[in-house]
Every structure is written in structure tokens, then in C-alpha cells.
Structure 1
Amino acid sequence: MGKSILHITNGDITTEYLKRLNFTGDFITWREMLCEGKTTTDVGSEKFWKTRFDYLKTSYNVSKEKFIDFTLKEYRTLCSKKSNDEIVLWFDYDLFCQINMIAVISWLKRYRKGRQISLINSGKIIESQKLKGISELSENQIQEHFKNRIALSQDDIEYADYIWQLYCSESPLRLETVHKFNPMSPFKHLHNALEAHLKRFPSIENGLDKVENIIIQTANKYDLNSKDALVRKLLKEQGIYGFGDIQYFNYLERMQKAFTSFNPVKLSRKGKKALENQSNFYGDLRSEKIYLGGAKKYSFLYNNSSNKILQITT
């Protein structure tokens, strides 16, 4: 009898793709976006899920019924899978997936101790300059990735869990350096994802984070006739972030002062001045309720010149 495998994937598209390719084993789809909103270290606890539901309800108007049906039922199915010989993690290279991945590993460290955990390192394809997500790979490429999956050592698992603990801490300062000192890590994309995470704190230059700056740059560069067109362009060119359309619409809702119109897309005078760092949106956007992991977003600033995080003292 062959080994019993549990596949934990980054989304429904990947799960359905692997099933179509006749991968054997059990499947769990991790339906969360832990790269946004407050997180706590104790993945799967009552406190953890309450924190996540409060965020999703407030920011995305997610109902309790949807949260239970979409996320919690799948998590409970994961809890019931206790006898698999190997757990294979299918997560992409982007920030969205990498944060979910380290959270899942933290959970596995606590609740599936001693189990073989393997990692699919998606992204790099020999014949392509562009990194590719799992769902963009051909059947042969996916089979090759699966064959070359990496068995995580206990040290690897401890390292991923440690990064998750830091991500959930009240300060992002230690993330600046700790992820750079593990050159042998099998987590090939975590370094870039964490750097992208740190750039989501507001810039000292104009009060906008990296994503917000990309939004106004895109709006200024292209002749776009609607908010939908702007979001489609952002999705196409976003690279490392891996966001969905609802996340960009959420950004635009908060950034209304940067625009005079979305039909067509037009920047406001202040939005245009921010392109040259001649205006600052920190005061317009600041909120005590916005978290990135465990840190309050507007308690820190990102210095683009030094690539350092600065803590705001009150």
C-alpha cells in the first residue's frame, strides 16, 4: 500500500487543478488571507478565528454564515485528517501565499508533530523569466514540481514557525533582519515576500505604502475608464503581492482622496502631488484599527532611502 498523502493548497483553483490531474490523497484548501488584518500566533484557536472573523466582517462585510461555510468547515476537516503519512504544501511565491504557508506550518508544528511535511517550491520555470503560480504550470511542470518536492526538516519547521511568531508580534522591526540570515532555507520565496510585507507600512515620503504608491502610479500611467479597469491592470502587473480583486477594491475605498473620479480614473491634485512626494496622505489614512499581522500599520513608517522601518513614538 502506498503512502497516504494530505495536500494542503493555496486555493480552490489549485485544489481543482490537482484533482483534474488525478493526484491521489486527501485535499484541504486553506481559505484565508492572513497577509491582511490582525493575526495571532495560536493558529486554529478560538481567539485566532474570532480575531479573523472580526477583521473580515469589518473590512469585507463577510457574514458569519459565509465565514463558517467557507473557512471554518474546511479547517475542521483539516483537524480530522490525523492519519496521513505525508503532508504536502502547495503555496505560491507571492506574499499572500507565503504568509498563509508559514501559518499552516505553525499549526502543523503544534498539531501534527513528527509528521513528514513536504514543500512545493513554485515560481521558477527554466524556460521562463517570469515566476509562475501553481495554477499556471502545465501538467508536466506540476508533476516535476511534485517529484522534486522538499521534505522539511525539524529546523525548517521551527524556522517557519519563528517567522510566523514575529509576523504576529506588535513590532515588525525584527523581521527586517531575521529572514536574511538563513541562506540554506528551503523557503526560497519567503525573503522577497517579507520584504514586500515591510513595504506595506506607510512611506515616510508621502504616507502611502508600496501598494498604494503602485495604485496611484498605475492610475497616472494608463488611460483607464473605470475602477474595474484599474483593478484589472493592478492584478495583471502586481508581481509579488498575489492579491485578489476584493483587496484592491478595498484599497481604493480607503484612497478616495487620491482620486477625483473613477469613471474615468483621474487622480486628484493631492494624488498627483503624492507622485512627486509633494503631498502626504498619512493623516488621511491613519487608523488605529488597521493591522499588518500583529502590528498596527500606522505606528510605523518605511524609509525608502535606507529600507528601514521606523517606529513612531507617542
Structure 2
Amino acid sequence: MLHIVNGDAFGSKLKQSRIPGEVLVWREIYTVGPVFAEPSEQGNRAIRAAYLEQAIGVPQAEFVRHSEEQERTLASFRDYGEVVLWFEYDLFDQTMLAYLLRWFSEQELGETKLKELSIGAFPGIERFRGLGQLSVPQLETLSGAWQAVSDEELELGAQLWSAYTADHPEQLAALLRGDTSALPFAREAFRAHLSKYPSAANGLGAVEQSTLDALTEQPSNPIDLFRMISEQHHVLGMGDLEYWGILRELAAGEEPLVRIDGTAALPDFQGMPDDFASNQIGVTELGRRIREGRADRIARCGIDRWYGGVHLRGREVAWRRD
């Protein structure tokens, strides 16, 4: 049996459990940077690797090595009687699930049975945020709870991946207006993705808007700020590296929207500076004006951001959220 899981924290616990099988941690962040319909193509991988190194500090060579290793393991799936996909309700997980369902939809499964376990709640946990919350005994209660992946799930996963990696958002918006019940968490997760697009009112995505709202109330240290914003937008499944990248953009340029008072740089993949938590984040006057809709972030500062397969850049962009 092969278990494909969403992260090292849960993967480590699964390895400690009495649930039989090997564990493949799918190490990707499809919510950050350029994402292509065929990510394993050499040119696409090179573009993505270069972006992730620049944006969040993931070394290009390490990204390529991990990608190739996990793809080799995935390609050996016929060596296992069962393959179980473990994923959660949020966008971070649903993008991975969509990719894997698309990939399996193009394979001859042979004797291998493809199963899935996707959850958005767990008994006794009031605010369930992910499988990593579970203790080893708790996750062992899920053994055998997985269900066979249906043709409808494979088809919808393939459609979601195609729409997510398209160079325009209309395909995804149209898909979400239809029947997505085969994957019960998909609609909310991918609608959250669309909320990241710049607003027609002021050019801010939902996360940036929430950040400026919070900082207008009072300045904050970055750790508390991340906890607040990630909880508010928990459907995104946003990790700290993704958020530091957003904060870095808000603080960049000649007209920043936030100011960072302190000596420690924002963290990246290489780690967090010891004195990082002592920094204070505040909103600038321009940030206040944009937050209130009295100025437009893209017109003033421009944008260079990927949303799945959509690349928005410059001071006039094709797609905004209304």
C-alpha cells in the first residue's frame, strides 16, 4: 500500500502509526508561483524552480531533485495493491489533489486500487485545520475509512487542474458555477483562490486587504499577524512562507503599503532569524489610503504575481475581482 500525503508533519505521524504501507509526502506548493498543466516538462519546471528560489528561497536544485524523486515514486504505483490519497479541505491540499487526480486519470491502473480520504472535520476537534493536528492514535481510527476514487472524481480533478493552470480565470469561475459535488471541498477552496485576485475597488487581494485591516487597528509582530491572517483565511491553507512572500511585496518598492520596524529580514526557506519576532509591522499612509479605496494598489505600485497559470504584471491588468 502507498499513502500519498500532504506534508511532512502528517507523513511522520503516519509512519509512526500501525497503518500499513509506505508514505510518499507530496512536496509542492501549487498555491505559490507559476503552475503549469504539465509541471514535469523541463522548461516549465525550470521556470517554476527559478521563481520559487527568488520568491521564497527554495534552492532550484533541491526543488528539481524533490520533484523528480516524488515523480519516480508516483510512476511506480503499480507496485502497490492500493494507493491512498490523504488530503484536507483547504486550497493548499485541493490543488495537490486535483493534480494527482488528473495524473491518475491518464494512467492504466491495472490491478491497483485508487482510494481517497479527504476530511474537513474530526470528532472532538472543534477547529479542525488539518491532518497534522491528529495524534497517532487519532489518525489510526481513520484506517480503512478511505473510499474508492470514482470516475466522476477523476474527471472533476482533471477539469479543476486544467482550469487552475489556464492562463485566464474564466474557465475556473465557470467550472465552480457547475456541479462540483464529486469533490465536496473543491468549490470553497477554489473560490478562495479567486479571492486572491486584485479587487476592482483598490487592487488588493483578500489576504492583503485583511492584513491592512489588521494593521490599521494596531501594529503587530509578524508571528501574531501571520496567526491572525492565516486563521481568518484558513480555507487557503496558507503556510508561513507564502505569507512572508505576500508581506515582503507589501513592504517593497518606493511606495510600500506596510513598514517593518526591526533589523531581522523576513524569513524564507532557509529559516527564521532569531530576532524576527521582535520586528513590528505597521501600515503606511499609502496603505491606509489603498485600504479605504482612495487609491489603487496596482496603479500606484504595479503587480507581478502568479495566480495558478495566470500571470498579472504591470500597472494595468486584465483580470480583477469584482
Q: Which residue of 2 aligns with 1:294?
A: 309
Structure 1 residues 267 and 223: CA distance shift in structure 2, 3 A: closer
Q: Which residue of 1 aligns with 2:199?
A: 203
Distance in 1 separating the partners of 2:109 and 2:231: 39
Distance in 1 separating the partners of 2:90 and 2:242: 14
Q: Which residue of 2 aligns with 1:15?
A: 11
Distance in 1 separating the partners of 2:11 and 2:245: 26
Could you give the per-residue CA deviations for residues 268-312 of structure 1, whole angstroms, max 9, x where no partner exists?
Answer: 11212233222210124433x522111123431000xxxxxxxxx
Q: 1:174 aligns with which of 147, 157, 171?
A: 171
Structure 2 gap ranges (5+): 262-278
* AA partner of residue 68 (structure 1): V
Once structures 1 and 2 are overlaid, which stretch shifts more, 253-262 or 230-239? Answer: 230-239
| 8 Å CA contact 2:16, 2:136 repeated in 1 | no
Structure 1 residues 101 and 284: CA distance shift in structure 2, 3 A: farther
| 8 Å CA contact 1:94, 1:189 repeated in 2 | yes
Structure 1 residues 113 and 52: CA distance shift in structure 2, 3 A: farther
Secondary structure of the 2:170 match is coil
Q: 2:67 aligns with which of 59, 68, 71?
A: 71
Q: Which residue of 1 aligns with 2:118?
A: 121
* AA partner of residue 173 (structure 2): E
Could you give the per-residue CA deviations for residues 41-63 of structure 1, whole angstroms, max 9, x where no partner exists?
Answer: 12433344223213212322332
Q: Which residue of 2 aligns with 1:35?
A: 31
TM-score, with length taken from structure 2: 0.83
| 8 Å CA contact 1:171, 1:295 repeated in 2 | yes
| 8 Å CA contact 2:165, 2:310 repeated in 1 | yes
Q: Which residue of 1 aligns with 2:42?
A: 46
* AA partner of residue 307 (structure 2): L
Distance in 1 separating the partners of 2:82 and 2:300: 49
CA-CA distance at 1:12 after TM superposition: 0.8
Could you give the per-residue CA deviations for residues 143-199 of structure 1, whole angstroms, max 9, x where no partner exists?
Answer: 3434322211122101111110111111111212312422541x2211111100111
Matched, 1:133 2:130: yes
Distance in 2 separating the partners of 1:35 and 1:264: 27
**How well do the aligned residues superpose, as a CA RMSD in angstroms?**
2.2
Matched, 1:233 2:228: yes
Q: 1:269 aligns with which of 269, 272, 285?
A: 285
* AA partner of residue 129 (structure 2): K
Secondary structure of the 1:234 match is helix
Structure 1 residues 87 and 259: CA distance shift in structure 2, 3 A: same
| 8 Å CA contact 1:43, 1:106 repeated in 2 | no
Secondary structure of the 2:200 match is coil
| 8 Å CA contact 1:8, 1:89 repeated in 2 | yes
Q: Which residue of 1 aligns with 2:267?
A: none
Q: 1:145 aligns with which of 139, 142, 145?
A: 142
| 8 Å CA contact 2:90, 2:235 repeated in 1 | yes
Secondary structure of the 1:16 match is helix
Secondary structure of the 2:234 match is coil
Across the two proteins, how many residue pairs are aligned to each other?
Answer: 296
* AA partner of residue 294 (structure 1): G
| 8 Å CA contact 1:255, 1:285 repeated in 2 | no
| 8 Å CA contact 1:93, 1:190 repeated in 2 | yes
CA-CA distance at 1:112 after TM superposition: 4.9
CA-CA distance at 1:126 after TM superposition: 4.5
Secondary structure of the 1:277 match is coil
CA-CA distance at 1:235 after TM superposition: 3.6
Q: Which residue of 1 aligns with 2:93?
A: 97
